Chains A and B, each alone.
Chain A
Amino acid sequence: MTQFAVFVLHGLAYAGLLFLVSSGLTLVFGMMNVLNFAHAAFYMLGAYFSYSILQWSGNFWLSMLLCPLILFVIGALVERFLLRRVHQHGHLHELLLTFGLAYIITEGVKWIWGNYSLAVSLDGFLTGQVSLLGITYPVYRLFIIGCAVAVGTAMSYVFYRTRVGIIVRAAVDDHEMVNALGINVPLVFMLVFAVGAALSGFAGVIAGPLLTTYPGMAAEILVDAFVVIVVGGFGSLGGALLASLIIGQLQAFGVLLVPKLSLALIYLLMAVVLVVKPSGLFGEEA
């Protein structure tokens, strides 16, 4: 029983990371129709920047604050000066651009930080264990769950309860019409892209001490994030949340029960959803 609870918590921690990464990915795809291959590279940059900030300052809280800001700026620049320029040439060009960007970032990371894994170590209370109802569990995983819940709640509030959220949801439906109603849609694209990059970077920061920080970490999470946005439905924040929770649990229990097949389980889920409801769990019917 306690073992079961531990795996549920493991799944939740991974779901938290996945949700932070895939929320930006799904919104960008829903609005701009761009499948951003570089999105997970922002996650990796978050982890590496955090590593360096920790080396330099020793302050994890500082890197939790700084890295998303840096990635916000990087995201805004990428959208404004790269994506927007190739936009008129069509989706294939956009796809190639983000693909190339992911590649360049990965090579850049190898060049600067080396082609091996780095250990991000924390001190203080985050490294401890807590005991609750007979379960001993690392504080840090609970901390990740807490971060994801906090950010997810704030995001849902903005998305479903504010004017900004109305605009973003409308732009997912039909951005040209939003533009014709007097909204500066290019600016909305840039901001959503930048916020998505910042969230992805934030996920990278908190993933650092838990998972390994290495040049393959982007590709690793990108696959799962793609599955999340397909299963959840493109452009749906609620869908991304639900799909992250499901895949988090599949990951955790897959490793426990069928270690060799845990990855296959995720693809199986995607295939089933695609057959039963091609637009994803929360997707709009075409």
Chain B
Amino acid sequence: MLEVRDIHSYYGKSHILHGVSMTLQEGEMVCLLGRNGVGKSTTLKSIMGMVRPRSGSIRFQGRELIGLQPYQVARLGVGIVPEERRIFGSLTVEENLLIGKKNALDGGDGAQAWTLERVYQVFPRLHERRTNKGRHLSGGEQQMLTVARTLMGNPRLILVDEPTEGLAPLIVQDVLHMLAQVRRSGVTVLMVEQNFKAAVQVADRFYVMGKGQIVFEGDVDALLAADEVRKTYLEV
């Protein structure tokens, strides 16, 4: 479904991604691990069109994404849940949800489309808070809202950047549960995490990133077996 090949991305003159490649199959939940600052977020932003790679290729369902604007990538069925969450603070919860709505793809493949009703069913807390301003939500609520806001566009692939960052352990479990649910609904998930223990619970496959490059690819067992990789690139 997604094929990233040898991309090189920059911020101004600083060369951040040095030839990143990864592949996702439809329906998979894949996790990208790695230490702070190695380029995980930049990889997601490159896929979304928020950073334009200078070379390489990113194919989504057979279409080249490099050169498209973020809204065009979104309309093809890719959604991003950014690390900073980026809730619209001056809008109500419901208005936050309505933003992504109009250009929503139909559910596609017979999958159930996300609507306000369905979001409120799955996230009753957001229903309770629907008239509150975004900036008045707690961290866990904000994380729910960003994910739900992106789902309103009915993406086929969702890019989730460190969803458990800064959340209390109990809320972390809620968020993981929610992502597993999203994935069961047929959405392919590419998740960035630093929290290895959290990631292992939900992901099928893992990529590990070193400085701007992928240094490991494999499933849970392979990752647990690869002591060197974990020591060098993950454990602090």
Contact = CB atoms under 8 A, between A and B. Distances in A.
A163 B69 contact: no
B98 A166 contact: yes
Interface in B31-87: 48, 50, 69-71, 73-75, 79-80, 82, 86
Interface in A161-203: 163, 166-167, 169-170, 172-174, 176-186
A180 B91 contact: no
B50 A186 contact: no
A170 B100 contact: no
A166 B74 contact: no
A107 interface: no
Interface residues of B, number: 28
A182 B98 contact: no
A182 B100 CA distance: 6
Contact of B99 (A166, A176, A184, A284): A166
Nearest to A235: B90
Contacts of B86: 174, 177
Contacts of A163: 98, 101-102
Contacts of A186: 69
B156 interface: no
Contacts of A170: 88, 91, 95-96, 99
A119 to B, nearest CB: 45
B232 interface: no
A181 B150 contact: yes
B153 interface: yes
B80 A180 contact: yes
A252 B204 CA distance: 70
Contacts of A172: 90
Interface residues of A, number: 20
Contacts of A177: 82, 86, 88
A182 B88 contact: no
Contact of B50 (A166, A169, A173, A176): A176
A183 B103 contact: yes
Interface centre among A167, A180, A181 (most CB of B within 10 A): A180
A179 B89 contact: no
Given A169-B88, A169-B90, A180 B71 contact: yes
A180 B84 CA distance: 14
A180 B74 contact: yes
B90 A182 contact: no
A181 B91 contact: no
A166 B80 CA distance: 20
B91 A183 contact: no
Contacts of B90: 169, 172-173, 284
Nearest to B95: A166
Interface string B143-155: 0000001100100
Interface in B175-191: none
A178 B101 CA distance: 11
A176 B70 contact: yes
Given A163-B98, A169-B91, A180 B50 contact: yes
A181 B98 contact: no
A284 B99 CA distance: 20
Nearest to B74: A182
B71 A184 contact: yes
B89 A182 contact: no
Nearest to B146: A177
A213 to B, nearest CB: 38
Given A183-B103, A186-B69, 4 more contacts: A166-B98, A170-B99, A179-B50, A179-B69
19 contacts: A163-B98, A163-B101, A163-B102, A166-B95, A169-B90, A170-B95, A170-B99, A173-B88, A173-B90, A176-B50, A177-B86, A177-B88, A179-B69, A179-B74, A180-B73, A181-B71, A181-B79, A182-B71, A183-B71
